Every structure is written in structure tokens, then in C-alpha cells.
């Protein structure tokens, strides 16, 4: 993770550019992030990393071990701590970083916990087609059907898709474009959707597949189909020569 920030998803909206084109965006409160610790390859940790803290917290709500670690680095109590390896920006404990790490046009990956859907059946959870609605099918409209075998092996196979808890898992959405950076308000406006509900904590990191300076590959312009009038105009000079 060359660059990254801890943030909080605030919601979705839309913005317009200078040409009047509308873009749907997700608003992320991406700061301030305080640097709690800097690990180095030459130090006792044996690798390069930066620990960032986000969102103030009361000291009495932290464990003594965690509070002692923060105090050792002369930091303040925070709700969330995240470690980013190979942080490409030079920082030291006590520094504050924010959305200025990114610029409009950069691509980022957003990591968050999806919304919980509760206990769901196989139709909603795994997109099963379900049973017949006619021909005498009674009570099997949204069921999964058989899940095992006969004599051999006589067990339910590991990984069988069945009803169960849906959602509330960590997911990463890749290659989201940064539309606006509002440094004064610590806001990042990212094109598209980010996992999680409003108020959930998210991690915004530099895109692994599209790092800073990435440009789309050059593609050939599609051939434009000629209209009937254009074809007739090209055919007339040929007829005149005859």
C-alpha cells in the first residue's frame, strides 16, 4: 500500500464539471489522519510501514495496552488504527495527513464492510432460480433442492451453497476515480459506489492496478458508418466518369 487513508463514508451525491456533465460520487471524510508510528526496515520491526489513526476517542474507552502504545508514540487516543506498508510519503510521528495525498484524476481502491442483509434464502443469497410455479410443485418455489448424495459419499459437500447470513463482509472496490479533493473540509469525492453504509469506516488506498500517473491504453477510434446520403455523394463522381 504505497499511499492510504482511513476515512468515513458520509453518503452519495452528484457533481457537475465545467462542461455540465453529471458524475455520481461518494463523499468520504478522509482526515485528519495522525501518524502514530513509523516502522523501518533497519529498525527492530524489519519492514517499512506507517500507522495512521483516525477519529478522536476518549482515553477511558481504550484498552491499557493500546493506550500505552499510543502514548509511547506521543499520540492522542483514536477510534481506528490502520497500518500501511511501504508508505511512499515521508512522514514522522505526530504528522497529520489528509485527502491532499490524492489529486483529481487519481485512481483508488476502497475497502469497507458491506451492509448486513440478515438471514437470507438461496434465491436472494446465491441467485438460485427456484422450483417450478406450476405442474404440481407445492412448497418448492424458493428452495434449493437436494444437497447430498445417496450411499456414496453420503455427506454434504464442503462449500455447498445454502441459506445463511448475507452481507457484513469485507469487500474491496477497485479502480475508482477521484473527482474532487476538498482539502479544507477533509473530503474526497470518489466516482461510483463504496462498500458499507453511511457512517461506516473505510480505507482509501492508492489503486494497485492503476497507480499514480496511470493512463488508459491508446485504442483505435471505432469506424464511423456512412449514411445513405454520403454513399450517394461518393457514387455520383464515379458515375460521371463513366
pLDDT at residue 223 greater than cutoff 70: no
pLDDT at residue 100 greater than cutoff 90: yes
Query: Of 108-122, 123-137, 168-182, 191-205, where does mean pLDDT reach its minimum?
Result: 123-137
- The model's pLDDT over 25-34, given as tens digits with 9 standing for 90+, comes to 999 999 899 9
Residues 6+ apart with CB under 8 A from 140: 130, 131, 132
State the Cα–Cα distance between residues 110 and 171, nearest whole angstrom.
Answer: 8
Tell me the mean pLDDT in the region 120-137.
Answer: 92
pTM of the model: 0.80
Apex 177 CA angle, 15 and 95, nearest 5: 100
Joined together, the cell numbers standing for residue 151 give 450411499
Joined together, the cell numbers standing for residue 45 give 520491526
Contact 195, 169 (CB under 8 A): no
pLDDT at residue 117 greater than cutoff 60: yes
Name the DSSP class of 115. Answer: P
> Exposure of 175 by Cβ count < 10 A (0-12 exposed, 13-18 middle, 19+ buried)?
middle
pLDDT of residue 28: 97
Tell me the mean pLDDT in the region 69-88.
Answer: 90
pLDDT of residue 226: 74
Q: How confident is the model at residue 133 (pLDDT cuts 50, 70, 90)?
A: confident
* 204 vs 134, residue with greater confidence: 204
Amino acid at each position: 500500500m504505497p499511499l492510504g487513508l482511513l476515512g468515513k463514508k458520509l453518503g452519495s451525491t452528484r457533481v457537475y464539471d465545467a462542461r455540465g456533465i453529471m458524475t455520481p460520487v461518494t463523499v468520504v471524510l478522509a482526515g485528519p489522519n495522525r501518524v502514530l508510528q513509523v516502522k523501518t526496515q533497519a529498525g527492530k520491526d524489519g519492514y517499512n510501514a506507517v500507522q495512521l489513526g483516525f477519529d478522536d476517542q476518549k482515553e477511558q474507552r481504550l484498552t491499557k495496552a493500546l493506550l500505552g502504545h499510543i502514548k509511547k508514540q506521543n499520540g492522542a487516543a483514536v477510534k481506528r488504527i490502520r497500518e500501511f506498508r511501504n508508505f511512499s510519503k515521508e512522514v514522522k510521528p505526530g504528522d497529520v495527513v489528509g485527502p491532499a495525498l490524492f489529486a483529481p484524476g487519481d485512481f483508488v481502491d476502497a475497502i469497507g464492510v458491506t451492509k448486513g442483509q440478515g438471514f437470507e434464502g438461496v434465491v436472494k443469497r446465491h441467485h438460485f432460480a427456484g422450483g417450478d410455479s406450476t405442474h404440481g410443485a407445492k412448497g418448492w418455489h424458493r428452495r434449493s433442492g437436494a444437497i447430498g448424495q445417496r450411499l456414496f459419499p453420503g455427506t454434504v459437500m464442503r462449500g455447498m451453497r445454502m441459506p445463511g447470513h448475507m452481507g457484513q463482509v469485507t469487500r474491496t472496490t477497485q479502480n475508482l476515480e477521484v473527482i474532487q479533493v476538498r482539502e479544507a473540509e477533509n473530503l474526497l469525492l470518489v466516482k461510483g459506489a463504496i462498500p458499507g453504509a453511511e457512517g461506516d469506516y473505510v480505507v482509501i488506498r492508492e489503486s494497485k492496478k492503476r497507480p499514480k500517473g496511470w493512463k488508459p491504453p491508446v485504442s483505435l477510434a471505432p469506424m464511423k458508418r456512412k449514411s445513405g446520403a454520403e454513399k450517394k455523394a461518393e457514387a455520383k463522381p464515379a458515375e460521371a466518369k463513366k
